[in-house]
């Protein structure tokens, strides 16, 4: 029997360096919790000639075979990022009989069910707490503490970049382009922010959560997605006047034998807990039949929070290695019908620029009425334009997405309408 639990890392960037440093700093504490010291065996990197803090030359390798060929490696930590070659590396590690801990949201969103089945077939575990929510414990509570619940809905703020930007727009009254530039300067947004601002990152994460919460396989491209690029300072101000704040929400709900999953800017009631999640913080809210509504909140990204989640998984599976505990059986995921956006129901906010003349509001109201969409409120704002443009902000009662799509198309075609600015759901 080995006197240590051997771990090897695939990747040694900021997150990898944080994991290695934490394993060294907490060595005695982790050994006491696990019952055996944790030893870093191999670290797979692109540049093997580069000197890396805390690592001896023999620990640094350049091929996956050097990791999987090491008999002392029992746990593989994948932090390469991206879908390929990370997906293939995770599968190879599982098939070799190694437990795997990953932070890879894209791989788990696209192939999580398949990889979890491979892990079960080979008597090992695949843990992925760090793939959603950074340092927020979400996966663990769902798979253990909330296991007795039938989870019916997930609502989450799970992208720190967009939450920072929308918070800045709310607090500073600034427009999208200005806060994006600020977020990039501060390192919160990448030089190419597409994955964040278009909701792609959040779509990966809500797909992962659907698999765990509902035991339903949903592809990221099946998530109805809208980013924040169209949100203006006016939308933020109008929402505030109505008693709301705008957040990029990732949501999923089981409805009539189907799963509805969305990522979209949403007006959230100012007194709702999610409305108060600001800056780079993330939050995930579950609704269960026994526990009701539960909210987890905390830092969503960065080396510290992500390392925390990775190491929690490492310690968990290391205890399995020491005690010989076998993983629970994997229940194959269901494939449910994915509800189309036209089937979704919500209250809505509509911002429409029109010619400032009598009868316009009544004509728009008539179009909404034809689709059985009831107006909850309407506010007119004058805009300082030479062509006499006014801006109307409607809120509606509950309506189907299909009815709204039909109404918006008809409104957009009206000769008195200059622009349909934003159409956003409302919550809380």
| pLDDT higher than 70, residue 18 | yes
Q: In CATH terms, is domain 5-134+303-323 a member of 3.20.20.70? A: no
CATH number for the segment(s) 141-299: 3.30.360.10
pLDDT at residue number 386: 61
Q: How many CB atoms lie within 10 A of CB 180?
A: 23
> Reduced to 3 states, what is the DSSP secondary structure of residue 219?
coil
CATH number for the segment(s) 341-427: 3.30.70.260
pLDDT at residue number 184: 95
> Reduced to 3 states, what is the DSSP secondary structure of residue 179?
helix
CATH 3.40.50.720 residue spans of the chain: 5-134+303-323
Whole-number average pLDDT of the chain:
93
| pLDDT higher than 70, residue 315 | yes
pLDDT at residue number 388: 80
pLDDT at residue number 329: 77
pLDDT at residue number 376: 97
pLDDT at residue number 282: 94
Name the residue among 367, 382, 348 with its Cα closest to residue 414.
Answer: 367
Asked if 159 contacts 248 with a C-beta cutoff of 8 angstroms, the reply is yes
> Reduced to 3 states, what is the DSSP secondary structure of residue 220?
helix
Distance of CA 338 to the CA centre of its chain: 18
pLDDT in tens, 176-218: 999 999 999 998 899 999 999 999 999 999 999 999 899 999 9
Mean pLDDT of 399-410: 97
Mean pLDDT of 391-413: 97
Catalytic residue among 110, 205, 247, 276: 205
- pLDDT above 90 covers what percent of the chain? 82
pLDDT at residue number 301: 66
| pLDDT higher than 60, residue 66 | yes
Angle separating helix axes 401-412 and 360-370, nearest 10 degrees: 150
State the pTM of this model.
Answer: 0.93
Rounded CA separation 358/94 (Å) = 69
pLDDT at residue number 162: 97
pLDDT at residue number 1: 53
Query: What is the number of residues in the chain?
Result: 428
Name the residue among 316, 268, 279 with its Cα closest to residue 301.
Answer: 279
Greater confidence (200 vs 143) lies with 200
Round to the nearest angstrom and report the end-to-end CA distance of the chain: 56
Name the residue among 351, 421, 363 with its Cα closest to residue 392.
Answer: 351
| pLDDT higher than 60, residue 335 | yes
pLDDT at residue number 139: 83
Mean pLDDT of 310-335: 90
pLDDT at residue number 225: 97
CATH 3.30.70.260 residue spans of the chain: 341-427
**Can you tell me which residue has the tokens 């005695």?**
28
Rounded CA separation 133/295 (Å) = 12
Q: For this structure, is 205 an active site residue?
A: yes
DSSP class of residue 58 equals G
pLDDT at residue number 237: 95
Asked if 34 contacts 315 with a C-beta cutoff of 8 angstroms, the reply is yes
pLDDT band at 304 (very low <50, low <70, confident <90, very high): confident
pLDDT in tens, 218-232: 999 999 999 999 999
Rounded CA separation 190/81 (Å) = 15
Rounded CA separation 336/250 (Å) = 19
Q: Specify the pairing of strand 99-102 against strand 126-127.
A: parallel
Rounded CA separation 77/8 (Å) = 6
Asked if 41 contacts 48 with a C-beta cutoff of 8 angstroms, the reply is no
Rounded CA separation 344/260 (Å) = 7
Rounded CA separation 298/426 (Å) = 24
pLDDT in tens, 246-270: 999 999 999 888 999 999 999 999 9
CATH 3.30.360.10 residue spans of the chain: 141-299
pLDDT at residue number 332: 86
pLDDT at residue number 383: 62
């Amino acid at each position: 029997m080995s006197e240590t639990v051997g771990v090897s890392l695939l990747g040694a960037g900021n997150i990898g360096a944080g994991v290695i440093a934490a394993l060294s700093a907490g060595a005695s504490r982790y050994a006491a919790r696990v019952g055996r010291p944790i030893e870093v065996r191999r670290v797979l990197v692109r540049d093997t000639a580069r000197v890396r803090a805390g690592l001896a030359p023999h620990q640094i390798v350049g091929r996956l075979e050097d990791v999987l060929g090491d008999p002392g490696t029992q746990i593989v930590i994948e932090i390469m990022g991206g879908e390929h070659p990370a997906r293939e590396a995770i599968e190879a590690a599982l098939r070799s009989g190694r437990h795997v801990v990953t932070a890879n949201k894209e791989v788990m969103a696209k192939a999580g069910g398949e990889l979890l089945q491979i892990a079960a077939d080979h008597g090992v575990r695949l843990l992925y707490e760090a793939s959603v929510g950074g340092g927020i414990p979400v996966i663990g509570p769902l798979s253990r503490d909330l296991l007795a619940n039938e989870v019916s809905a997930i609502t989450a703020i799970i992208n720190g970049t967009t939450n920072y930007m929308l918070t800045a727009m709310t607090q500073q009254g600034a427009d999208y382009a200005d806060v994006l530039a600020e977020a990039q300067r501060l390192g919160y947004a990448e030089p190419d922010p597409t994955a964040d601002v278009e909701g792609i990152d959040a779509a990966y994460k809500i797909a992962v959560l659907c698999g765990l919460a509902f035991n339903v396989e949903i592809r990221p491209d099946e998530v109805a997605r809208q980013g924040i690029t169209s949100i203006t300072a006016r939308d933020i101000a109008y929402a505030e006047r109505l008693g709301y704040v705008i957040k990029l929400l990732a949501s999923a709900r089981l409805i009539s034998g189907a799963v509805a999953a969305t990522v979209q800017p949403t007006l959230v009631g100012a007194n709702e807990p999610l409305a108060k999640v600001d800056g780079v913080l993330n939050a995930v809210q579950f609704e269960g039949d026994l526990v009701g509504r539960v909210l987890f909140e905390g830092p969503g990204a960065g080396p510290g929070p992500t390392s925390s989640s990775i190491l929690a998984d490492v310690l968990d599976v290391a205890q399995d290695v020491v005690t010989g505990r076998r993983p629970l059986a994997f229940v194959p995921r269901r494939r449910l019908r994915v509800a189309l956006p036209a089937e979704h129901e919500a209250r809505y906010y509509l911002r429409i620029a029109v010619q400032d003349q009598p009868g316009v509001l009544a004509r728009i109201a008539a179009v909404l009425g034809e689709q059985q969409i009831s107006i909850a409120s309407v506010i007119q704002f004058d805009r300082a334009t030479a062509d006499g443009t006014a801006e109307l902000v409607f809120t509606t009662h509950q309506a189907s997405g299909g009815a709204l799509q039909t109404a918006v198309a008809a409104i957009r075609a009206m000769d008195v309408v200059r622009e349909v600015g934003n159409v956003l759901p409302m919550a809380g």
